[in-house]
Amino acid sequence: MVTRQRIVSFGIPTLALGTIVTSALLHRVVQPAPPPDCIYPPRPAEPFIPVTSVPAMRTDAPRDRHHIDVVFAIDTTASMGSLIDGARRTVWGIADHIRKTDPGADLRVGLVAYRDNDPEADMPEAYLTRPFALTTDLDAVYQELRGYDASGGWTQPENIAAGLWDALRMAWRPSATKLVFVVGDAEPADRGDVPGHATIIGEMVKRGIVVNAIQVGSLPATETAFRRMAQLGGGEYASTAQSGGVQQIATPYDAALAELEARITRTTVFVGPSGERAAWQGRMAAAEAAPAAAKADRAGYYAKKAAASATGDAGRTARDLVGATGVALDEVAEVDLPEDMRALDRPARAAELARRATERRELQARIAELVARREAFLAAERAKHAHEGGLDGFDGRVKGVVEKQMK
């Protein structure tokens, strides 16, 4: 019998927009305590392990920034393999669409992978849920999605309630627009290990969290259940094919954008403890392995950030000395420098930083030009194929729901 357990996903230490991260080690993110009138009791049999993914981050935002927190609770059983592949390939495109809809969006994305108990399967390492904390770092989100292995699920329904339970206890920002997307192909089970899914959705609504439901496949029982969840959660119901229906359009600009973004990454002088630097290199390696169209989406997303760093994330500028405004070279300990910078004396380091900063500005200007051309190309292609159901894919469904609810 499968051992019932929750596996917390240790996300890569990430950096929030406009935040100087000083923590060198992973630590727990404190989840908000239930309000006094909370309608569900604590769970005694299997206490919740707080989601661990990111160092402490600020919860305020500049006046022209708007907090948007989005959590995807995704069925990761065997039948969901194609959908998960499509989700990971379009994560930057979805985020970019949110930024286009609201240029002031201060976006964080979280994940909960959920399955169910499979007494017939010999899977001792199987997890019931695998939460990944809300973060501004889309590269870390991509890396987490890349690690999903769609397996198990020999019985139906699935334990959506357990996935919603973890989503509820994410570190939601009080001022944020809060959206949950339940994505799956089987109706929810209430196993008694957590409150029932309807109860949890009711608690989410009390906290201002909108629950949307995206059905994968065409099972009638799933449609009934997912429509009901969306109705209870004040959200939208949508459906897509079992394959996920994601159809990324190749453009003449994808390869060039991917190469330019890789060159920007090579201008980085990422500083910090060796573990942090290794984690950053892992994120970059995962992004480099993405398909060309996904890397072009990534370039477009980061090009629109208010301030740019190696990947365009203003939050990481504090750790990347090139173009940094909050960290001086003289303040960085020798041991926290990358090896290529340690080999230089201080004047040579300063000169190398200036050279890389100049190169980056030139690369960013070229990326911005190509991103504009690529977006015009994509708009024309989508217009030509609009009659073919271009919004039927998972990414199109999410973009449509988010745009409607943000407006």
> What CA–CA distance (Å, rounded) separates 317 from 311?
9
Phi, psi of 106 (to 5 degrees): -105, 90
User: What are the residues whose beta carbons fall under 8 Å from the beta carbon of 59, sequence distance 6 or more?
Assistant: 173, 174, 175
- What would the two tokens of residue 206 be? 């009390």
Is a pLDDT exceeding 70 seen at residue 347? yes
Strands 177-184 and 129-135: unpaired
Which tens digit of pLDDT belongs to each residue from 84-136? 988 888 899 899 888 888 888 899 999 999 988 654 554 545 688 999 999 99
Ranking 90-99, 263-272, 387-396 by mean pLDDT, the lowest is 387-396
Query: 361 and 219: one domain?
Result: no
Residue by residue, DSSP assigns 207-241 as TTEEEEEEEES--HHHHHHHHHHHHHTEEEEEEE-
- Kindly state the helix (H) or strand (E) to which residue 32 belongs, with its residue range: none
What per-residue confidence (pLDDT) applies to 73?
Answer: 96
- Claim: this prediction has a pTM higher than 0.85: no
pLDDT band (50, 70, 90) for residue 392: low
Query: 233 and 106: one domain?
Result: yes
pLDDT band (50, 70, 90) for residue 319: confident
Find tokens 């799933």 and name the residue. Answer: 222
Mean model confidence pLDDT for the chain: 78
> What CA–CA distance (Å, rounded) separates 173 from 176?
5
> What CA–CA distance (Å, rounded) separates 217 from 224?
13
Residues spanned by the domain of 239: 66-247+391-406
What per-residue confidence (pLDDT) applies to 54?
Answer: 33
Reduce the DSSP state of residue 45 to 3 states and report it: coil
Q: For the chain, what percent of residues have pLDDT higher than 70?
A: 74
Find tokens 């992004």 and name the residue. Answer: 287
Within a domain: residue 28? no
Cis preceding linkage at 157, omega within 30 = yes
Within a domain: residue 20? no
- What would the two tokens of residue 282 be? 């892992």
> What CA–CA distance (Å, rounded) separates 189 from 176?
29
Query: 206 and 314: one domain?
Result: no
Ranking 118-127, 295-304, 337-346, 393-402 by mean pLDDT, the lowest is 118-127
Within a domain: residue 31? no
- Please give the tally of structural domains in the chain: 2
What per-residue confidence (pLDDT) applies to 387?
Answer: 60
Is a pLDDT exceeding 50 seen at residue 307? no
Nearest residue to 257 via CA among 142, 373, 169, 350: 373
pLDDT band (50, 70, 90) for residue 324: low
Phi, psi of 12 (to 5 degrees): -70, 140
Query: 126 and 238: one domain?
Result: yes
Strands 105-114 and 234-240: unpaired
Which residue would you say has higher pLDDT here, 255 or 66?
Answer: 255
Query: 94 and 224: one domain?
Result: yes
Reduce the DSSP state of residue 88 to 3 states and report it: helix
pLDDT band (50, 70, 90) for residue 247: confident
What per-residue confidence (pLDDT) applies to 277?
Answer: 86
Which tens digit of pLDDT belongs to each residue from 205-220? 999 999 999 999 999 9
Within a domain: residue 376? yes
Nearest residue to 206 via CA among 175, 168, 165: 168
Contact assessment for residue 3 and residue 124, using Cβ atoms and an 8 Å cutoff: yes
Q: Hey, which bits of 147-286 come out as E strands?
A: 177-184, 209-216, 234-240
Query: 259 and 126: one domain?
Result: no
What CATH number has the domain bearing residue 122?
3.40.50.410
CA atoms lying within 13 Å on the CB side of residue 29: 28
Within a domain: residue 29? no
What per-residue confidence (pLDDT) applies to 386?
Answer: 66
Query: 220 and 272: one domain?
Result: no
pLDDT band (50, 70, 90) for residue 303: confident
Which tens digit of pLDDT belongs to each residue from 4-47? 344 444 333 333 333 323 333 333 333 333 333 333 333 333 33
Which tens digit of pLDDT belongs to each residue from 141-198? 999 999 898 877 666 688 999 999 999 999 999 999 999 999 999 999 888 889 999 9
Query: 193 and 313: one domain?
Result: no
